[in-house]
Structure 1
Amino acid sequence: MMKRRTFTASLLSALPATSLIGTRAFAQGLRDITFVQPSPSAINSFPVFVAIGEGFFEEEGLNVTVEAINGSGAVLQALSAGQAHFGRPGPGPLIAARSRGVDAVHIYNVAARSNFGIAVQEDSEYQAIEDLRGKVIGTGTADGAEVGFARNVLTGAGMTEGEDFQFLTVGDGGPATAAFLNGEIDAYSASTADTAILNQRGMKVRDITPAEFGRFFGNGIATMAETIENDRALVEGWSRAFARGHAFALNDANREAVLGHLAEGNPQEGEDKEFQSALFDAVRSKTIPPEGSPYLGWYPAEVWAEWQDALVAGGEISGPLDDLDAAWTNEFAALGSEAAGG
């Protein structure tokens, strides 16, 4: 069946938008749903754009619009306000939101391997996390997943925010480069994509994050518990299509088609084909589950506990959640894996 697509942009009310990307399939009888992502990058949400482009969502009766807003906090706000059906927030912001009564649930582990790291300039004297004592760490957003990750790493090295280090929100891309050049920041908590962009723009950086923090998975697909309870068919249909998009993109035989779908989702990323390809490889590698994982999108319970411990230690939440297990489920990833043939 021929799939016709166009791009739409509609501002989510009361939410700051960095860029808005909308993708719609025109077909009769499809249900309109909205997916929100914490940055404009199509590559960071590649399974969504592949599932749109290959018609997997359409086969589930879904017409997906993608909106890019500013950080995981805004993603969770959109979900809780009923302005989106699914989003891609980080685990730290989701746990923190649940501590405030936001009943959001992670249903698919997209960044199964940590997609964040603390980067310093390539020629910097800083060689280890301990060298950042008394320094300023730049972040893309004030409450995004990169903040919780960096706080986890730094507190793990025995440092206290406000005493031994401080965060400064500088944005990503060009603003982050300027912050380095102006001496405003000594290091930058960056995603895989952020690091690639900085290097591509001539700001050479290197990651000094200890290897053991690689187990801290990053952003995943979330929805509201109410949606799971009252609209289960929607969550199941989304999960099947998303998992198929993920599996399709992991097959190198589909590479040309995948990069084409991503260029449609964010034309700017597709302008430099070599960079787009390299960035896709870097991001895709973080979505491959560690050895021992039974299927794509699977969450390890013990790392959720470690994320929570880090948030408590960092003062982001006052204490453990009453029911941490309610913050996540593997049920829909397992369902999606079956649909994807995995």
Structure 2
Amino acid sequence: MKFLNVLMASVFLVAPALAQDKLTEVTILFPGTGTVTNFPLDVAMNEGYFAEEGLSVKAEAVDGSAAVLQAIISGQADMGAAGIGPVLNARARGEDVIFFYNHNVRSTMGIAVKADAGVDSVEGLRGKVIGVGTPDGSEVAFARSALQEAGLTENVDYTFLPVGPGGLAAAAFLRGDIDAYVGTRVDAATLTSKGVVLKDVTPEKYLSFFGNGYVTTEAFIAEHPEVIEGFGRAYVRASEWGILPENKDAVLAYSALRNPLEGSDKVYAGNLYEESKSRIVPIDRTTWGMHHKDEWDAWRESLIASGSLNDPSIDVHQAYTNQFIEAWNTPK
């Protein structure tokens, strides 16, 4: 497995009790430098779960899902976190990439209003101004689909106003420029840390639009099934440990080792942890990492409707595997 020399922050952590020459090195990439949103990785590193599976995991950051996939396809990395759109479009080009672990089982994107706005659903956004980060970002397609299904038409019943992410969105709320905002859990954590108390009005259907998950190649799975099995089992253990309230401080400390800047703002990091925790826990708490056919069907319909899927004829159910679910969710 190859070493990826990326000019970004990286970390190489293993349990000191185990000699490194006994561990299989694994390089995993993320489409950004944030770490709290993937906190089980840091828990598995620092609690020794990966090492117990014979793995030494090296995490690095690159710029976006496309860069993650390019490195995996070229063999410069073993696995990484990516979004469904880039993965499906890569597969449409004939590239060998596949989801193997569903990390964000609930949508990482949402539609929120101020808690005291008196709005309880997207139907209540009629006549409102809805803030978005950019005029053509994925959040626009996400919100447009949800609002259209609720019977609201853009520029007739509501308008989008690009205001930027995070702190810029908070300022827009506080000035009264926007009545709602569509963004990610990172945006939500930032808004909360800036004193904007939010209420999520995302329709239940759209909460099942899972977010970034872990991908690799089918060739890697065939050649190294023990790595995928060990990685997932350690990740499940770390997830279950990391969501316990009494472990929150330790989780944030572990994540701060990989991104000290993010961890330096305790309020923001804490809010982001709570947001992230709410997105990764499967409803039945027994099928960590599992992909569901109906959720993939819903994503396909949404991507086609928004024009984001280059090849609508692609079989989306070939883009993921549940091969290791039983092994991951059964104690070793």
SS in structure 1 opposite 2:282?
A: coil
**Pair 1:224 & 2:214 matched:** no
Aligned to 1:247: 240
Gaps of at least 5 residues in structure 2 are: none
Q: Which of these residues, 317, 320, 323, is aligned with residue 328 of structure 1? A: 320
SS at match of 2:207: helix
**Structure 2 Cα separation of the partners of residues 252 and 198 of structure 1:** 22
Q: Which residue of 1 aligns with 2:227?
A: 234
Q: Which AA in structure 2 matches 1:11?
A: V
Q: Which digits, 9 at most, give the CA deviation of each residue in 1:213-232, with x for residues without a partner?
A: 12222221111222112332
SS in 2 for 1:106: strand
Tell me whether 1:305 sits opposite 2:297 in the alignment: yes
1:116 aligns with 2:109: yes
Task: Compute the displacement of 1:332 (Å).
Answer: 2.2
Cα 1:241–1:279, aligned 2, differ >3 Å: closer, same or farther? same
Letter in 2 for 1:303: E
Shift of 1:259: 2.7
User: Aligned AA for 1:310?
Assistant: S
**C-alpha deviation, 1:177, in angstroms:** 4.9
1:25 lines up with 2:20 in the alignment:
no
Which secondary structure state, in structure 2, belongs to the residue aligned with residue 66 of structure 1?
strand
Q: Post-superposition shift, 1:200?
A: 1.0
- Matched to 1:219, the amino acid is N
Mean Cα deviation higher: 152-161 or 96-105:
152-161
Contact 2:87 2:97 in 1 (8 A): yes
TM alignment of 1:1-342, pairs within 5 A: 10-11=5-6, 20-25=8-13, 27-29=19-21, 30-119=23-112, 129=122, 131=125, 138-139=132-133, 146=139, 149-150=142-143, 152-154=145-147, 156-157=149-150, 170=164, 172-174=165-167, 176-177=169-170, 188-202=181-195, 206-291=199-284, 294-339=286-331
CA pair 91-49 structure 1, distance change in 2 beyond 3 A:
same
Q: Shift of residue 52 of structure 1?
A: 0.8
CA distance in 1, matches of 2:98, 2:132: 28
Unaligned runs of 5+ in 1: 1-8, 13-19
> Structure 1: how far apart are the matches of 2:259 and 2:281?
23
* Deviation of 1:166 (Å): 6.9
> 2 CA distance for matches of 1:74 and 1:83?
11
Cα distance between partner residues in 2 of 1:204 and 1:305: 33
Which amino acid is the alignment partner of residue 332 of structure 1?
F
The residue identity in structure 2 corresponding to 1:240 is R
| Aligned equivalents of 1:161, 1:316: Cα separation in 2 | 19
**Distance in 2 separating the partners of 1:285 and 1:91:** 20
| Rounded Cα–Cα distance in structure 1 between residues aligned with 2:163 and 2:75 | 27
CA distance in 2 between counterparts of 1:76 and 1:162 reads: 36
Report % sequence identity: 36
Q: Secondary structure at the match of 2:291?
A: coil
Structure 1 vs Structure 2 CA RMSD: 3.6
**Residue identity matched to 1:60:** E
Distance, in Å, in 2 between the alignment partners of 1:36 and 1:181 is: 36
Residues 226, 199 of structure 1: alpha-carbon distance in 2 compared, 3 angstrom cutoff: same
1:127–1:28: structure 2 CA closer, same or farther, 3 Å change rule? closer
Task: Give the direction of change, closer, same or farther, for the CA distance of 1:110–1:101 in structure 2 (3 Å limit).
Answer: same
| Aligned-partner Cα distance in 2 for 1:45–1:225 | 23
Label 1:178 to 1:255 Cα distance change in 2 as closer, same or farther (>3 A). Answer: closer
The letter for the 2-side match of 1:89 is A
**Aligned pair in 2 of structure 1 residues 272, 316: CA closer, same or farther (>3 Å)?**
closer
Deviations 1:153-207 (A, max 9, x none): 355456789999779694x434555677899988643122321112213456554
Q: Give the TM-score taking structure 2 as reference length.
A: 0.79
Distance 2:91 2:126 in 1: 31
Equivalent pair of 2:128/2:179 in contact (CA under 8 Å): no
